[in-house]
């Protein structure tokens, strides 16, 4: 059996642009994509913290360390610059692989720069405690 597991997440990113007349996609600072393990043209799910909307598109790399998080095409109707979003990618893996699976989770500040962790998120702490 295959399970859909979180592969990577960029948590609380701020939208820096929304261009309805572009072909589509989300442009993501390539340093954030790399850290979250998100590949160019990979399907990503976007969860808007601001509006509660959820939608999918594909990722394109933006300039490294630029802080760019820009939605294009139809997805631009779902967000506005300044909105907070969560960007996720998922992977299908076996139950055996899932036993020790750890997603890549990236936390960012209001300028989409890497944010140092001051605590271990509950889900990660619980996972470590439950691991054999």
Q: Which of 8, 44, 5, 4 is nearest to 24 (CA)?
A: 44
Please state, in angstroms and rounded to a whole number, the distance separating the CA atoms of residues 13 and 49. Answer: 10
What's residue 116's pLDDT? 77
Encode burial over 58-70: b for 16+ CB neighbours within 10 A, e otherwise.
ebbbbeeebbbbb
DSSP E strands: which ranges in the chain? 2-14, 17-19, 25-29, 43-48, 54-62, 69-72, 84-94, 104-107
Please state, in angstroms and rounded to a whole number, the distance separating the CA atoms of residues 61 and 95. Answer: 31
Q: What is the pTM of this model?
A: 0.89
Give pLDDT tens digits for 82-125: 999 999 999 999 999 999 899 999 999 999 999 877 666 666 66
Backbone torsions φ then ψ of 108, nearest 5 degrees: -130, 160
Catalytic residue among 22, 48, 58, 66: 58
Give pLDDT tens digits for 38-81: 999 999 999 999 999 999 999 999 999 999 999 999 999 999 99
What's residue 128's pLDDT? 54
What's residue 121's pLDDT? 64
Catalytic residue among 22, 25, 30, 31: 25
Structure tokens, 5: 């597991």
What's residue 127's pLDDT? 60
Q: Residue 88's domain is classified under what CATH number?
A: 2.40.40.20
Active site residue 22: no
What's residue 120's pLDDT? 60
Domain count across the chain: 1
Active site residue 94: no
Could you tell me if 76 and 48 are in contact, meaning their C-beta atoms sit under 8 angstroms apart? no
Query: Which burial class, exposed, middle or buried, applies to 20 when counting CB atoms under 10 A from its CB (0-12, 13-18, 19+)?
Result: exposed
Does the structure show a pLDDT above 50 at 132?
A: no
User: Could you tell me the residue range of the domain that residue 75 belongs to?
Assistant: 2-130
Q: What is the band of 126 on the pLDDT scale with cuts at 50, 70, 90?
A: low
Q: What is the band of 131 on the pLDDT scale with cuts at 50, 70, 90?
A: very low
């Amino acid at each position: 059996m295959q399970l859909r597991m979180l592969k990577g997440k960029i948590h609380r990113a701020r939208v820096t642009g929304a261009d309805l007349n572009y072909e589509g996609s989300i442009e993501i600072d390539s340093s954030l994509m790399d850290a979250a393990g998100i590949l160019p043209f990979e399907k990503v799910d976007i969860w808007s913290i601001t509006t509660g909307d959820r939608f999918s598109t594909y990722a394109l790399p933006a300039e490294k360390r630029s802080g760019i998080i820009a939605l294009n095409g139809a997805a631009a109707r779902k967000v506005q610059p300044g909105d907070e979003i969560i960007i996720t990618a998922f992977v299908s893996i076996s139950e055996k692989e899932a036993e020790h699976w750890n997603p890549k989770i990236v936390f960012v500040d209001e300028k989409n720069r890497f944010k140092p962790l001051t605590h271990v998120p509950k889900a990660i702490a619980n996972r470590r405690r439950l691991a054999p």
